[in-house]
Amino acid sequence: MVKKECFEVFDENSAENDEDDDRINDDLMNVELGDNLFDCTRNKCSRFNGIGDHSIGKIDTDSQSSSGDEEIDGDHFIVLEYKDVKFDYYEKGVDDLTVCLYVKGSFKESLIVDFEEAAFTVKFQTSDSKFFSNFENANETTWFTWRVDLKHAIKPEECSYKSHPTKIEIYLKKKLPSKWDQVAIIKPKKINNTPKPAIFTVEGTALSNNVQNTSKMPVNIWIPSNENHSSPPAPPPFPPPSFSLKPQKVFTELNDPHSHDSLALNRVIPSGNGALHPTIGYTGLENLGNTCFMNSVIQCLSNTEELRDYFMSNHFKEDINEKNPLGTGGNMAISFAVLLKHLWSGQHYSYSPMKLKLLMGEKISQFSGFAQHDAQEYMAYLLDSLHEDVNRIKNKPYFANSISSDSDTQIPDEELADEFWRKYRMRNDSIIVDLFQGQYKSKLVCPKCFKVSITFDPFLYLSIPIPKNQILHSVFFFPLDASKKPVRFLVKLHSDSKVKKLLEAISLRTGVAIDKLQMIHASDGNLQSYLTPDSSIPLLPKTDCSDMLLIFERLTEKEVNEKVCEFVVQQRLKVPHQTNKCSYCKRSPEVGKLRRCTQCYRSSYCNQICQKKDWSEHKKTCLYKPEPVGCPFIITLPHSECTLENLKRIASEYSRHSVDVFDPEIKSTNSDNGDEIDNGFFENDTLFQKRTFVLRNSLLDVTADSDDITIEQFLDTEIPETCYLLMEWLNNEKDSVIVESKDLDHSYDILEAERVHNEKFDINLEECLQMFTEPEILSPQEAWYCPRCKEHREASKQLSLWRLPQLLVIQLKRFSFKSLMFREKIDKLVKFPILGLDLSNYCCSNRLIQQRPLYDLYAVINHYGGMFGGHYTAFAKTSYQRRKLGWRLFDDSRVEDIDEENIVTRNAYILFYRLRESSE
């Protein structure tokens, strides 16, 4: 069996070294990293890991296995270490914590999770060949064990777990409510003061590091530029002691060099096509505990050639602005430069960004802990901090009012844009502005007085919208001719689309102008809502056919040159359908019919005895309520043709599509004469002549019992533009008319429906940019103050690009916040070009359009997961010392090559583009 132990190495001079590291001088910062120097920062970061490193200690010489694997009763067992699997965690309040173990294809039937008060153990098998290919002799029958010793206590009986196709979620219930700064802790074991050399192995090759030298190494040391200089340049000052960035005591371990699982505390991972030694451009970043968002940003900026070369060549020292109150006195810039030096030294497999994290936490409190954060938000703060630290403007001039152009002043756009930019650069002049910042034009139009206001503002990145997820809507279109069958259409629209978009789609399919279409929502025969073009489209239940979206063609005043009256009609039964069982004894009558309650018509009884016994309960709900039937419809008529006769005729024609009406007496009589029935209606209109329904004014409860009265008398008012009527079917026993709802009789193009249903909707970056530059109406919370109206207006706002940066950062707005309770992530694939992104169509500057700005992709930040938890990785390519480095995947401490064809994924979140030189 493998015994896992962890040892702490104490150096006699460690206290002195801690003090020395707080006042690192120029000579110390110019020390080169020798081949045999141990990277102490990689060990130090284990204290800050969200889940502690379960590292392999020295091997028990009595063990029969040297690989960390076990054979028990014929089964193959492998004990996993911290770095052997990908994981993350997030907290829900102060009571719960969820650990996500990212293992694909785990078998639910064999998954076991054991909970203890101070630990939990996961035992699983997986079908993922990529996973068990990392372990010798591993396969689908291999049992993997992953144990986490917790820093704080939990309630084992209230903990649980769940298996997913790509991960295992472990739900921990904390014993005491609190925020955990980390999940697990390593309890080091103190050994002799004289440490032995630590032996590391990578694929069977032993690498020896002199541990004794590590105590004298600073946590972040300055690595001089690789440029040829007769003497090394003077290093920048190190952050002052006020930041309390003392190096921690070093943790290391003594391992058997022949053990297959002998790895350093920060696991040595081969990089660059399986390299056995650290490779330039393949250095990862340690995850300090939910810091993947930070690591992905740093790696993308590290692969930004212009920014990296600026900081690594020491040019930034000339620009450090120590007295800028908005900066950190140069500390952020220095720490970032030190980090870049280590990342490109070729001396580390992975490196700890702890110092940069602590500095950011000091400046921005929200980044001080180990919670999950948004990568774009962190990048904005980091670039802003670097900008202020190297801002060449020492004394910023003050400008009282910002200028703008409107319909009153008419300042040319070129003059206005240049003036905006000139004033901005008088206060902001740094490498960040030089590389990343551009300028866009903002145009506001007042909806009342039509005043136009134009301003030009700088941008660090473009945050562009993504079309929302699509929903398939089923709608029924009713032609103006009520005798024609309605037609069913399937329409795919974005989830946040309004009714107007749906009407536009139906207008294209039918050729009917959009202003002639009216949409309503019906459910169980009731009119739920009369929808305007700005209304949201109701989401219909997939399993309930009683909800329908109905669109009616209607007349317009332009067509008939007179006023048009609209009647919204809802059908209902005068007498509800009778039940077939006694409401009291629940039995069906053997002889004769059940007798109804004459007040509500909803309860039926065998006799008066059952009725009397049920009265105590029935009286609570004994209320007459007509029963809806069929579906509602809309009738439009010219004012001159608004008569009750026309209304009844058209209502009868519309109703035939959704109800069956017949009279047993007429049926038996006419059947002898050979009259045919069509959908429950007789061709000779016998039922219509018999007065099978009446129209009722729903507001005044007035019934049109006779055709002799005028429609004005019926409505008791002048005919309004929209009037709501009831079509009441006379289905009482006296009239002997039976009315039943039926499935809406309609036409349906099956081939067209299948085409729409199977239609795939591809989103590309150009479409997102088009949405970014389209006009939008400001919300009431964003209302603009119109200087002409002297009021806040929900103005129309349009953005367009005026000045483009050398390096363009694009954020895809995947996260939607509709309310505090409703948030969603858009996980659609957005296809973006790797080469030749043309922004000409989104620019409003003639100079830019003529130049045809083309951009090429060089880095991507990816986000996996949902709104409340996930993981960040990065893709990047670059050139270093005249050598091109292709696309690589940066996943915290893991770095590996990746094919260009795998760069465009549905997880892309932030895109980094470089302006192509005009000579190309």
pLDDT in tens, 550-576: 999 999 998 899 989 899 999 988 887
pLDDT at position 482, please?
92
**255 close to 263: Cβ distance less than 8 angstroms:** yes
Question: Where is pLDDT greater, at 230 or 787?
Answer: 787
Answer yes or no: is pLDDT of 914 > 80.
yes
Higher pLDDT, 904 or 47: 904
Please answer whether residues 102 and 292 qualify as being in contact, where contact means their C-beta atoms are separated by less than 8 angstroms.
no
| Average pLDDT over all residues of the chain | 76
Of 802, 849, 771, give the one whose Cα is nearest residue 440: 802
Distance between CA atoms of residues 805 and 437, nearest Å: 5
**Residue 225 confidence (pLDDT):** 35
Cα torsion 558, 564, 570, 575 to 10°: value is -150
Strands (E) across 708-759 are located at: 722-729, 738-741, 747-748
The mean per-residue pLDDT over the stretch 867-890 comes to: 91
- Residue 670 is assigned to a structural domain of this protein: no
pLDDT of residue 17: 35
Domain count, the chain: 1
52 phi and psi, to 5 degrees?
-60, 155
d(C-alpha 194, C-alpha 575), whole Å: 98
> What tens digit of pLDDT does each residue of 410-447 get?
788 888 899 999 999 999 999 999 999 999 999 999 98
How many CB atoms sit inside 10 A of residue 815's CB? 16
Tens digits of per-residue pLDDT, 165-209? 888 999 999 998 887 867 876 544 443 444 443 333 333 333 333
**Residue 715 confidence class, pLDDT cut points 50, 70, 90:** low
Q: What is the pLDDT of residue 374?
A: 92
Known catalytic membership, residue 585 = no
Q: Pick the residue with more confidence: 866 or 817? A: 866
Q: Where are the alpha helices (DSSP H) in 633-710?
A: 644-655, 664-671, 686-689
Confidence band for 133, pLDDT divided at 50, 70 and 90: confident
Strand spans (E) along 196-320? 198-202, 205-209, 251-252, 284-285
pLDDT at 626 exceeding the cut of 90: no
> Phi/psi zone of residue 398: left (φ > 0), alpha (ψ -120 to 50 degrees), beta?
beta
Distance CA 259, CA 58 (A): 9
- 526: Cβ contacts below 8 Å, ≥ 6 apart: 570, 628, 632
Pairing of strands 837-838, 854-866: antiparallel
How does pLDDT run across 34-80, given as a tens digit for each residue?
A: 332 223 333 333 333 333 333 323 323 333 333 344 444 446 789 98
Residue 124 lies in a domain: yes
The pLDDT score that the predictor gives to residue 253 is 29
Which band of pLDDT confidence, cut at 50, 70 and 90, is reported for residue 912?
A: very high
* 3-state DSSP assignment of residue 798: strand
- Work out the pLDDT band at 699, boundaries 50, 70, 90: low
Active site residue 582: no
Cβ distance 44 to 251 under 8 Å? yes
421 Cβ contact list (under 8 Å, min separation 6) = 439, 456, 458, 803
Name the 3-class secondary structure at 747.
strand
Q: What's the confidence (pLDDT) of residue 125? A: 92
Instruction: Give 232-242 pLDDT, tens digit per residue.
Output: 333 333 333 33
The angle subtended at Cα 839 by Cα 890 and Cα 919, nearest 5°, is 85
E strand map for 656-759: 659-662, 677-678, 681-682, 693-697, 702-704, 722-729, 738-741, 747-748
Could you give the 3-state DSSP secondary structure of residue 578?
Answer: coil
Determine which one of 373, 618, 657, 871 is catalytic. Answer: 871
* Location of structure tokens 């941008």: 459
The arithmetic mean of pLDDT across residues 314-326, rounded, is 90
Domain that holds residue 161: 69-173
The torsion angles phi and psi of 506, rounded to 5 degrees, stand at -70, -35
Q: Which range has the worst mean pLDDT, 243-257, 297-311, 456-470?
A: 243-257
Looking up residue 130, the CATH number of its domain turns out to be 2.60.40.790
pLDDT, average across residues 721-733: 81
Secondary structure of residue 849 in the 3-state scheme: helix
**Strands annotated E in 278-385:** 284-285, 350-351
What span, in angstroms and rounded, lies between the C-alpha atoms of 122 and 186?
18
Q: Taking residues 103-115, report their average pLDDT.
A: 90
Confidence grade of residue 845 (pLDDT, cut at 50, 70, 90): confident
Q: In terms of pLDDT, which residue wins out, 312 or 625?
A: 312
In the predicted structure, residue 678 carries a pLDDT above the cut 70: no
**Residues 59 and 2: beta-carbon distance below 8 Å:** yes
Average pLDDT rounded to a whole number, residues 9-16 = 34
Question: For residue 838, what are the CA distances in angstroms to 415, 849, 850, 851, 916?
Answer: 26, 10, 12, 11, 10
pLDDT score recorded for residue 578: 72
Answer whether residue 122 is part of any domain: yes
**Which comes out higher in pLDDT, residue 621 or 528?**
528
Domain for residue 92, yes or no?
yes
> Residue 13: what pLDDT?
35
Residue 243 Cα distances to 23, 352, 380, 504, angstroms: 12, 17, 22, 61
CA–CA separation, 813 and 909 (whole Å): 8
Question: Do residues 914 and 898 lie in contact, with contact meaning Cβ atoms separated by under 8 Å?
Answer: no
Q: Could you tell me how many helices (H) and strands (E) the chain has, helices first?
A: 21, 53
Does the pLDDT value for residue 504 go beyond 80? yes
Band the pLDDT of 502: cuts 50, 70, 90: very high
What pLDDT, on the 0 to 100 scale, is given for residue 590? Answer: 67
Residue 139 lies in a domain: yes
- Kindly tell me if the per-residue pLDDT of 303 is higher than 90: yes
Residue 792's pLDDT band (cuts 50, 70, 90): very high
Asked which of 60-64, 449-453, 913-917 is least confident by mean pLDDT, the reply is 60-64
Q: Average pLDDT in the 879-890 region?
A: 93
Q: Mean of the pLDDT values across residues 106-111?
A: 89
- State percent of the chain over pLDDT 70: 72
This model's pTM is above 0.75: no
Q: Is the pLDDT of residue 846 over 60?
A: yes
Is residue 111 in some structural domain?
yes
Q: What is the pLDDT of residue 761?
A: 66
Mean pLDDT to the nearest integer, 283-302: 95
Alpha carbon distance 910, 690 (integer Å) = 71
pLDDT of residue 65: 35
pLDDT at residue 8, as a whole number? 32
Note whether residue 218 is domain-resident: no
d(C-alpha 575, C-alpha 693), whole Å: 12
Q: Is residue 162 part of a domain?
A: yes
Other CB atoms closer than 10 Å to residue 445's CB: what's the count?
Answer: 19
Q: Which of 6, 45, 292, 642 is catalytic?
A: 292
Of 882, 880, 884, the C-alpha closest to 346 is 880
pLDDT at 222 over 90: no
Q: Is the pLDDT at 270 greater than 70, yes or no?
A: no
Question: Out of 260-264, 294-298, 555-559, which region has the weakest mean confidence (pLDDT)?
Answer: 260-264
pLDDT over 90 at 900, yes or no: yes
First to last CA, the chain: 62
- Say which range, 122-126, 234-238, 645-649, 885-889, has the weakest mean pLDDT: 234-238
Q: Could you read off the pLDDT of 588-605 as tens digits, one per residue?
A: 776 567 777 777 777 888
* Distance in angstroms (rounded) separating the CA atoms of residues 611 and 596: 9
Sign of CA dihedral 668, 672, 675, 677: positive
Q: Which of 134-138, 431-435, 702-706, 837-841 has the lowest mean pLDDT?
A: 702-706
| pLDDT confidence band for 760 (50 / 70 / 90) | low
**C-alpha torsion angle, residues 882, 883, 885, 891 (rounded to 10):** -80
